[in-house]
Amino acid sequence: MVEGTSLRERLSVPVIAAPMFLVSGPELVIAAVRAGVMGSFPTANCRTVEQLDDWMSQMMAASGPATAPVVPNLIVHRTNSRLADDLEVICRHRPEIVIASVGSPEPIIDRIRGYGGQVWADVASMRHAEKAIAAGADGLILLTGGAGGQTGWANPFAFARGVRAIHDGPMVLAGGVSDGRAIAAAEVLGFDYCYMGTHFIATEESMAVQRYKDMLVAASLDDVQLTDAITGLDTSILRPSLIAAGLDPKNLPVRDSIEISKDINPDAPRRWKDIWSGGHSVEGVRRVQPVADLVREVANQYQQARIQPGR
């Protein structure tokens, strides 16, 4: 970071391009940071530790002390067998911010803090927020109702005020942010930054297949279905993708059984490959466009909302 320059001053709009499984890759992240928003990605998108090292080299080369930062996302749950190896790679590249998801950030805090980085943790309830703060998280990402993929349930108005009462560090809204006016509204609630995910899926640089992007453009809020049949956790899924995969949205299989072994049924739908997520912000997706155009559009909306609130 350039001395005396805050993170906010390095951004064209206070947004993180959300980390999305099988969607966020080097092209999307690099385009995001060059456009002036934080670019994040799940390290799980890399098949190997070596690929993660290569991705980080590409991304960090495109970022700098005066640009928006690259923000890797580590799954910290005990089932992530690659956590220690991925953490070693992250520490070698020394990104400013690392996101911890699906569990306590405690396992990574000392290592990230050791080189001067920050850890921001996903939380979906007040209990999660309290535990993340106790573990030493620098920032909190509030998963609220309407987020794409594995989502939270809380109303952002109530959640924001509850967390702000116990946390004075960076706070991020995740869920339902569709344009610059929503970002301005989030600031009034006390948020410092916003996740935008669904919009970034429908960009030219995302790794999503074209059919997925086209489905987002055609979809509306009513096409988003909340179900635990995909992962065992409440997940926002595009109903048209369930239908295209041969599933009945009104009669889905039991919890966490959507993906049947290919040895049993080679034609069974695959999670994330054939069944796609989307958040409530899909209502604002109107076209597939370059990341730079999307960020410019959102930044203009944000500035206009600050000049003329409520219009």
Q: What is the dihedral of CA 20, 7, 141, 184, to 10 degrees?
A: -100
What is the C-alpha to C-alpha distance for residues 267 and 287, in angstroms, rounded to an integer? Answer: 31
Residue 103 within a domain: yes
- Give me the number of domains the chain comprises: 2
What is the C-alpha to C-alpha distance for residues 218 and 182, in angstroms, rounded to an integer? Answer: 21
- Mark whether 172 and 255 lie in a shared domain: no
β pairing state of 235-238 and 149-150? antiparallel
- Mark whether 76 and 131 lie in a shared domain: yes
Between helix 291-307 and helix 180-189 the angle, nearest 10°, is 50
Q: Provide the pLDDT for residue 78.
A: 87
Boundaries of domain holding 83: 8-207+285-307
Digit-by-digit pLDDT tens for the chain (311 residues) are 444 469 999 999 999 999 999 999 999 999 999 999 999 999 999 999 999 999 999 999 988 788 999 999 999 988 899 999 999 999 999 999 999 999 999 999 999 999 999 999 999 999 999 999 999 999 999 999 999 988 999 999 999 999 999 999 999 999 999 999 999 999 999 999 999 999 999 999 999 999 999 999 999 999 999 998 887 888 999 999 999 988 899 998 766 545 444 433 445 555 556 899 999 999 999 999 999 999 999 999 999 998 877 66
Q: Provide the pLDDT for residue 274.
A: 81
Residue 213 within a domain: no
Phi-psi region of 32 (alpha: psi -120 to 50; beta: other; left: phi over 0): alpha
Residue 215 within a domain: no
Q: Among the residues of 36-101, which ranges form H helices?
A: 49-62, 83-93
Cβ count within 10 A of residue 232 = 12
Per-residue burial over 248-282, b = 16 or more CB atoms within 10 Å of its CB, e = otherwise: ebeebeeeeebbeeeeeeeeebebbebbbbbbbbb
Residue 272 within a domain: yes
- Mark whether 298 and 202 lie in a shared domain: yes
- Mark whether 70 and 108 lie in a shared domain: yes
Q: Provide the pLDDT for residue 256.
A: 54
Query: What length does the chain have?
Result: 311
Nearest of 99, 100, 104 to residue 134 by alpha carbon: 104
pTM: 0.91
Q: Provide the pLDDT for residue 3.
A: 44
- Mark whether 58 and 93 lie in a shared domain: yes
3-state secondary structure of 101: strand
Residue 94 within a domain: yes
CA distances for 89 relative to 41, 43, 65, 128, 262, angstroms: 14, 10, 20, 27, 33
HSE of 16 in the Cβ direction (CA atoms, 13 Å)? Answer: 29
Contact 238, 223 (CB under 8 A): yes
- Mark whether 34 and 123 lie in a shared domain: yes
Contact 308, 23 (CB under 8 A): no
Residue 2 within a domain: no
Angle at 275 between CA 149 and CA 211, to 5 degrees: 105
3-state secondary structure of 126: helix
Contact 122, 150 (CB under 8 A): no
- Mark whether 57 and 111 lie in a shared domain: yes
| Residues near 110 by beta carbon (within 8 Å), at least 6 away in sequence | none
Residue 212 within a domain: no
Supply 209's token pair: 């297949």
- Mark whether 101 and 229 lie in a shared domain: no
> In one letter, which amino acid is 210?
Q
Residue 147 within a domain: yes
Q: Using only C-alpha atoms, what is the Rg of the chain?
A: 19
- CATH number of the domain to which 16 belongs: 3.20.20.70
